[in-house]
Structure 1
Amino acid sequence: MAHKRTLKVGLDSAAPFPMHSDYNAEVFEGFEVDLMKAITAILDFELEYEVSLWSNILEKLFKGELDLICSAVTVTDSRRHILEFSNPYLHFRLCAVINHGDNLSGIADFKNKTIGIREATEAEKYVHVNFPANNMVHAETNRELYRKLQAGKIDMLIDDSPIAGGFLQKNPKLKVGMYLPNTDSQYAIAMKKGDVQLKAQFDQALSTLKENGLYQTIYKKWFADVQF
């Protein structure tokens, strides 16, 4: 009997829940976990997860040490130059998260605010481009970032809306102050540049899941009451 192909899948060690939880926790779960199970069931692949810091993970894929990354990877033009992407599996926006007692009525309210961001993320780029004069505080993990906001070390943080949603379910003292204009984004599965056969297989599997309703079932399970 032929062995199933095993895919090495890169995961962000700072788990971006509800996309996926901490791989080393008792329960490894999330939208992307269910999605990958469903895709690999169709394609008859095995999965081997490898956990790494976000700043290393894209580099590992680029070097060919991983087959793919399914860990809240935003599709961008610059990443397209060096990586292959599947069709997107989730649409979202960037949002500003603030403490419950605060309010944001618009971008003008960002003036003089200290903004928290995660290193090597699209949110970080967005803040550098749009608010270069602001005081910025960088964090290596989501947890550290949200903790800084609760501790009053920053005035707000910028994050992907699905991940913010996951944190806000656990942090009732925080809220989304606003969704940021012109930040419509997509998550997709990243693969090594030139791995077009694998991309085609994943795109086909994603289409099948949308046609047979399984994608919608997984989506509802994780995002039933989240708005983004």
Structure 2
Amino acid sequence: MKKISRRSFMAAAAVSVAALALTACGGSASSAASSVASSAASSEAASSAAAAELTTVEAGKLTMATNAAFPPYEMTTDAGEFEGIDVDTAKAIAEKLGLELQIDDMDFDAALLSVQQGKADIVMAGVTVTDERKAVMDFSDSYATGIQSIIVPNDSDIASPDDLAGKTIGTQRGTTGYIYCSDDFGDENVVAYDDGLTAVQALNNGQVDAVVIDNAPAQEFVAANPGLKVLDTSYAEEDYAIGMAKGSALEDAVNKALEELKADGTLQAIVDKYINAN
């Protein structure tokens, strides 16, 4: 089990500060506006130059592998578009790097393999940093905390993680929930499904006794399925980070972008957009 604390956030507004400084020193409104425009153009040029120096799977694009069945981190809207914490964060990173975001949706296992095989630049799908994964891919700095939670029927006799012993547990294939449960309770007691929704459907149908999955999607699934609840006691806490190929030249650039998004409050705003602190 891993535990991290959420990083602090600071506000920044460099362009506005620059414009204010010019007018305070006696510059005219038009000269201040010209300076801001010039600064914006310079920033755009710098982004373009930085993007040209980055080697990606497809020139000019940041290709993200994901499994868009993991709300609120990644999901598909009724219009068939992608949204969620990971999606918005990836868009913000791509913008910082002067690249266009390309999202490839696939099974979770396939998403992890995609970066290892050079088919995607990054994988973001609520990916937890583990020693096993660090052996085959590199990771960015952490950008979120993941909590493994337990979903059970309202009338279940399961009240804590210890009560999972001897029960049939549903998980999403390839996730840390699957790994932890297999280690703790034996492979024979764990059923792996392609996504969390299918695991929850199996729970509703009485095919499993509980589902172990990250807390944010657990809350979403329970809200959509009356008769189910999330236990108050969490199963594990862990780090979420962006996965990349071993030795990826993007790691420093991605970490720099993440640092800036944390510092200017963008990352926290994205999280707040999808997760109500209350």
Tell me the TM-score normalised to structure 1 length.
Answer: 0.88
Moved over 4 A (4+): 1-4
Q: Is residue 7 from structure 1 mapped to residue 30 from structure 2 by the alignment?
A: no
d(CA) in 2 for partners of 1:160, 1:64: 27
Alignment of 1:169-180 (within 5 A): 169-180=223-234
Change (3 A) 1:224 1:160: same
SS in 1 for 2:206: coil
d(CA) in 2 for partners of 1:25, 1:16: 17
1:8 maps to amino acid: T
| Deviation of the 1:23 alpha carbon | 7.5
Give the alignment partner of residue 124 of structure 1, picking from 178, 188, 195: 178
- Greater CA radius of gyration, 1 or 2? 2
| Deviation of the 1:22 alpha carbon | 2.6
In structure 1, the partner of 2:104 is: 50
Unaligned ranges ≥5, structure 2: 1-44, 53-58
C-alpha contact 1:34 1:218 (8 A) present in aligned 2: yes
Q: Pairwise CA RMSD of aligned residues?
A: 2.2
Q: Is residue 204 from structure 1 mapped to residue 253 from structure 2 by the alignment?
A: no
Q: Is residue 194 from structure 1 mapped to residue 247 from structure 2 by the alignment?
A: yes
In structure 1, the partner of 2:207 is: 153
Change (3 A) 1:137 1:81: closer
Change (3 A) 1:203 1:179: farther
Give the alignment partner of residue 144 of structure 1, picking from 170, 180, 198: 198
Change (3 A) 1:75 1:108: closer
The structure with the largest strand share of the pair is 1
The structure with the largest helix share of the pair is 2
| Deviation of the 1:221 alpha carbon | 0.9
d(CA) in 1 for partners of 2:107, 2:162: 34
Tell me the TM-score normalised to structure 2 length.
Answer: 0.73
Change (3 A) 1:23 1:200: farther
Q: Is residue 100 from structure 1 mapped to residue 154 from structure 2 by the alignment?
A: yes
Q: Is residue 222 from structure 1 mapped to residue 277 from structure 2 by the alignment?
A: no
C-alpha contact 1:8 1:66 (8 A) present in aligned 2: yes
| Deviation of the 1:106 alpha carbon | 2.7
Count of residue correspondences:
223
Give the alignment partner of residue 218 of structure 2, picking from 155, 158, 164: 164
Give the alignment partner of residue 28 of structure 1, picking from 72, 82, 85: 82
d(CA) in 2 for partners of 1:47, 1:35: 11
Q: Is residue 184 from structure 1 mapped to residue 202 from structure 2 by the alignment?
A: no
d(CA) in 2 for partners of 1:52, 1:87: 24
Give the alignment partner of residue 79 of structure 1, picking from 124, 133, 137: 133
